[in-house]
Structure 1
Amino acid sequence: MMEHRKNPRIKASFKLLIYRKGVPVLTGRMVNVSSGGLYLRAPDNGLEINQRVEVEFQYPDAGPMERCRVPAIVVHKESSGLGLEAEDGHSRVAFSDMVSRLKKEDRLTLLPLWQFC
């Protein structure tokens, strides 16, 4: 089956933190990212389709204190992960910047960048 996506995906593998109403609720591992969203592998977590969340991540070439948190919407849910869509222009810019940095670094798979407490 042929996929018809607006934005090409780039493989990535590093940890994300998901917030709901400002409270961290989930850690997961990004599988891929595009300028329109991302997919993360995470255990079943109680989040539902159309729920608004915030995604916190660190850019691949950033220092340990340089994190980005942007709004997203849960658009796909499986027992093993979630598809998140950029909720606004700020999110799209952040995801696009992630894609650009990954391409620039010429690294399609990243090691974990930080550990959560």
Structure 2
Amino acid sequence: MEHRLSKRVPGKLSLLVYKRGMPVATGQVRNASRRGVFVSTDYDDVNLNQTLELELCYPEKTEKPLRRLKAHVVRKSAKGLGLDFDGADNDALGISKLLNWLASHHATFNYDSSPKYRVY
């Protein structure tokens, strides 16, 4: 059984991956917690423990469209990267904003196709 220190929030949010200050890939947040994030991407030119920056692309006009978070690579797979926020220089507000955005937008997505909206 897997034990986590904080609850994962599923979701779907586009982002750019930066390595050494340069954009190197696109991806999507698939789930996140206060301690880390899983990014769906085909980019794999990274090493474990390497620091990356994630530029989150919030689609709402009322939100600041771009915000960067730093994270360390803790896992690589064919589906993407497992990244850890611990030890990276992040403001808690940026992580909290990501978690709140994912929680409030998760129900509007069908993960097998394009975004769909609930009908009441």
- TM-score, normalisation: structure 2: 0.75
Return the letter of the residue paired with 2:106. L
Q: CA deviation at 1:61?
A: 4.8
Return 5+ residue gaps in structure 1 as ranges: 113-117
Q: Where does structure 1 differ by over 6 angstroms across 4 or more consecutive aligned residues? A: none
Q: Is there any run of 5+ residues in structure 2 with no aligned partner, and where? A: 115-120
Q: CA deviation at 1:65?
A: 5.2
Larger Rg: 2
- Structure scoring higher RCO (CA < 8 A, sep ≥ 6) equals 1
Give the root-mean-square deviation of aligned CA atoms.
2.4
Contact 2:36-2:82 at 8 Å conserved across structures: yes
User: Secondary structure of the equivalent of 2:94?
Assistant: helix
Residue matched to 1:52 = 51
Matches within 5 A, 1:1-117: 2-59=1-58, 61=60, 63=62, 66-86=65-85, 87-88=87-88, 90-103=90-103, 105=104, 107-109=105-107
Distance across 2 between alignment mates of 1:109 and 1:40: 19
Partner SS state of residue 100, structure 1:
helix
Residues 49-76 of structure 1: CA distance to partner in whole angstroms, max 9, x if unpaired? 1111101003465547531012111111
Q: Say if 1:11 and 1:109, in contact at 8 Å, map to a contact too.
A: no
Sequence identity (%): 30
